[in-house]
Structure 1
Amino acid sequence: MTVEPVTLRSERLVLSVPNLGDTDRVFEYCQDPLFETYLSTPWPYHRADAEHFLGDIVPSGWEIGREFIWALREADTGPLLGTVGLHRRRADDPGSLDVGYWLGAPHRGHGYMAEAVRTVVAWAFENAVAVTVHWECAIGNLASANTARAAGFRFTGIGPSQVAMRDGSHPDHWHGRRLAGNVEDSVPYLAWPTEWQPERPSSAAGADT
């Protein structure tokens, strides 16, 4: 299923499809050592990784309807601040997507990512691209959990990651989800980790509340 690339707008952000002109920013931000700890991006992260992401993964994802990735910008032609994406869970479950995101370190602490996540999830629901959007992050990444909570996700517990880590493993992660407004939910929700763990400064990995 091909989905035409679309530019979305929120109160402060323009969400547009990233391109090779964003290579320098992606390469720079993905040097953050927190990415090694919390994300599944390649490590060490080389310029060729950024070029592959922007030149191959992003356009092919839209073309085959597998994943939909946007760059966060403050204006139509502004520099990339980070990325947010919706990824198809499984071919046999077309109504479910996973959300993933990272934000460059200089731009954290302003609520940009929660705003972006709310915007792309609303797009997915309003355009019948998904009925369920799942979120997961490495245990301890409280900044990502704060973002998901601020974007309206509910915490569902701890379990193996959907996305494989660099070594192919699926360690336990925190999980949450959001449902489209017309879908009933029978899964019990739990207290968010951010309600019972203090956030540490080092847990800002690629996320922002």
Structure 2
Amino acid sequence: MEPVTLSTERLRLRPFEQRDAEAVFAACQDAEIARWTTVPYPYARKHAEDFVVNIGPAGWRDGTLYTFGVFTPDGTLVGSTGLVNTARLYTPDRTAELGYWTAGGQRGRGYTVEAARAVVDWAFTSLGAERLEWYAHVGNEPSRAVARRLGFVMEGVHRARTVHRGERRDDWSASLLPSDWGRSGRTPYTATPPPP
């Protein structure tokens, strides 16, 4: 897919570029990013360079990962948000996973919700997504708060779903459907009523 740029009232979302490597490196030194995400640990400059020069562009080109750097108008890196496992968008599933992280000094300003809302809107309108998924390690309350503000419906706990830093972790899961945003999908959906 050809990379795209999205804009919100306060932010610009664009694919990462080589010039962003230093800012990504600095942001990923944050202990909370290391604690809750899959970024390598310890995070070295080579990881940032590989991410912005190779991994990000390859994801866009191959249709497997659509990652946006989130920036203020003056070019300050706020964080990253995007869609992973996007190959499923091109199957009858029409599903992808939303992910995000926020730089330490930028938290608490609503930037992550604002940026993620733009990505969700793009996924539903331009990509035809019919289900977005969200996962986070149990205990990652800030990430769950963002997902809830976006309208994600919590679905449960997946025991031992991921291996993080050599240890199995339980993950929360949630989903967001176009109908949760007052939109319709291509494939009809009838919700299963809860058991009596």
Interval containing the TM-score (normalised by the shorter chain):
0.7 to 0.9
The equivalent residue for 1:66 is 64
Instruction: Give the CA RMSD over aligned residues.
Output: 2.2
The equivalent residue for 1:124 is 123
Instruction: Determine whether 1:83 maps to 2:80.
Output: yes
The one-character-per-residue Cα deviations of 1:82-112 (angstroms, maximum 9, x if unpaired) are 1001012665665110111111011100100
Instruction: Determine whether 1:46 maps to 2:44.
Output: yes
Instruction: Determine whether 1:97 maps to 2:99.
Output: no
Structure 1 regions of 5+ residues with no counterpart? 190-209
Alignment equivalent of 2:13, drawn from 3, 15, 23: 15
The equivalent residue for 1:139 is 138
TM-score by length of 2: 0.85
Identity in percent: 34
Matches of 1:11 and 1:161 in 2, distance apart? 39
Matches of 1:104 and 1:74 in 2, distance apart? 12
Instruction: Determine whether 1:182 maps to 2:178.
Output: no
**Structure 1 residue runs of 4+, over 2 Å off?**
89-94, 160-167, 183-189
The equivalent residue for 1:197 is none
Assess, with a 3 A threshold, how the Cα gap between structure 1 residues 161 and 93 changes in structure 2: closer, same or farther.
farther
> How far did residue 171 of structure 1 move?
2.6
**Does the residue aligned with 1:101 lie in a helix, a strand or coil?**
strand
RCO greater where, 1 or 2, for CA within 8 Å and sep 6 or more? 1
Letter of the 2:184 counterpart:
N
Letter of the 1:87 counterpart:
V
The one-character-per-residue Cα deviations of 1:105-155 (angstroms, maximum 9, x if unpaired) are 111001000111111011011013421110011111100001111112111
Structure 2 regions of 5+ residues with no counterpart? none
The equivalent residue for 2:2 is 4
The equivalent residue for 2:158 is 159
Instruction: Say how many residue pairs are matched.
Output: 185
Assess, with a 3 A threshold, how the Cα gap between structure 1 residues 9 and 88 changes in structure 2: closer, same or farther.
same
